[in-house]
Amino acid sequence: MTAQPAYAVQRKKRKKSLLTDLAKNPWLYIMMIPGIVYFAVFKYLPMWGLIIGFEDYVPYTGPIKSTFVGLYWFRMFFSTPMWLNYLGNTLILSFMSIILTFPAPIILALLLNEIRNMQFKRISQTLLYMPHFISIVIVVSITYVIFGADGIVYKLTQKILGHSIDYLGDPGVFRWMIVGQSIWKETGWGTIIFLAALTNVDTQLYEASMIDGANRMQRLWHITLPAIRSTIVLMLVLRMGSVLDTGYEHLILMSNSLNRSVSLTLDVFVYQNGIKGAQYSYTTAVGLMKSLVSVMMVLTSNKIAHVLGEEGLF
Partner 1 sequence: MKKILSLALALILALSVMSFVAAEGKEEITLNVMLPDFNSDKDWVTFEDGNPILQAIYEATGVKLNITWVADAAYGEKTSLTVADPANMPEVMVMQGVRDAIMISTARAGAFWDLTDYIYDAEEYPNLAEGAKSTYDNIAIDGRLYGIYRARAYARAGIYYRNDYAEAAGITEVPTNVEEFKELCFAIAEKGDAYVINMCKYVAGTIGITPVMHGAPYQYGVTEDGTIYPAFEDEKFQEGLDFLRDLYAAGGIDPNFMTIESGVWNDAERSNPPKAIMRLDCLDNGYRYQEWLETNMGADPEAPIVTLLTALPDDEGNIQIWPQNIGASGEVCVCKTVSEEKLPAVLKFLDWLNSAEGQTTLTCGVEGKNYWIHSDGYRYAYPEGEKENQETYTNYNSTTVHSLNQLGMNVGGDKTPPTATTLLRSWYNQNLIDNAKDVISNPCFTLDSATNVLLGTTINTAVEDAQVQYIAGKIDLEGLQAVYADWHAQGGDKILAEYQEAYDAIH
Interacting residues of 93 by C-beta distance below 8 A, sequence separation 6+: 175, 178, 179, 246, 265
Residue 61 in the binding site for partner 1 (CB under 8 A) = yes
Residue 76 in the binding site for partner 1 (CB under 8 A) = yes
Residue 60 in the binding site for partner 1 (CB under 8 A) = yes
Residue 275 in the binding site for partner 1 (CB under 8 A) = yes
- Of 3-11, 14-22, 272-280, 300-308, the segment contacting partner 1 by CB under 8 A is 272-280
Question: Which of 26, 88, 103, 277 contacts partner 1 by CB under 8 A?
Answer: 277
Residue 74 in the binding site for partner 1 (CB under 8 A) = no
Contact string (CB under 8 A) for partner 1, positions 81-110, x = contact: xx----------------------------
Question: Which of 209, 272, 291, 294 contacts partner 1 by CB under 8 A?
Answer: 272
Contact string (CB under 8 A) for partner 1, positions 6-45, x = contact: ----------------------------------------
Residue 163 in the binding site for partner 1 (CB under 8 A) = no
* DSSP per-residue string spanning the chain: -THHHHHHHHHHHHHH-HHHHHHH-HHHHHHHHHHHHHIIIIIIGGGGGGGGGGEE--TTTHHHHSEE-TTHHHHHHHHSTHHHHHHHHHHHHHHHHHHHHSHHHHHHHHHHHH---HHHHHHHHHHHHGGGGS-HHHHHHHHHHHHSTTSHHHHHHHHHHSS---TTT-HHHHHHHHHHHHHHHHHHHHHHHHHHHHHTS-HHHHHHHHHTT--HHHHIIIIIHHHHHHHHHHHHHHHHHTTT---SHHHHHH--TTTHHHH--HHHHHIIIIIIT--HHHHHHHHHHHHHHHHHHHHHHHHHHHHTT-----
- Of 42-50, 103-111, 235-243, 271-279, the segment contacting partner 1 by CB under 8 A is 271-279
Q: Between 67 and 300, whose beta carbon lies closer to partner 1?
A: 67
Q: Between 136 and 198, whose beta carbon lies closer to partner 1?
A: 136
Pairwise CA distance, residues 52 & 69, whole Å: 9
Question: Which of 9, 71, 115, 149 contacts partner 1 by CB under 8 A?
Answer: 149
> How many residues lie near partner 1 (CB under 8 A)?
30
Residue 157 in the binding site for partner 1 (CB under 8 A) = no
Residue 169 in the binding site for partner 1 (CB under 8 A) = yes
Q: Which residues bind partner 1 (CB under 8 A)?
A: 58-62, 76, 80-82, 144, 148-149, 166, 168-169, 256-258, 260-261, 269, 272-273, 275-280, 282
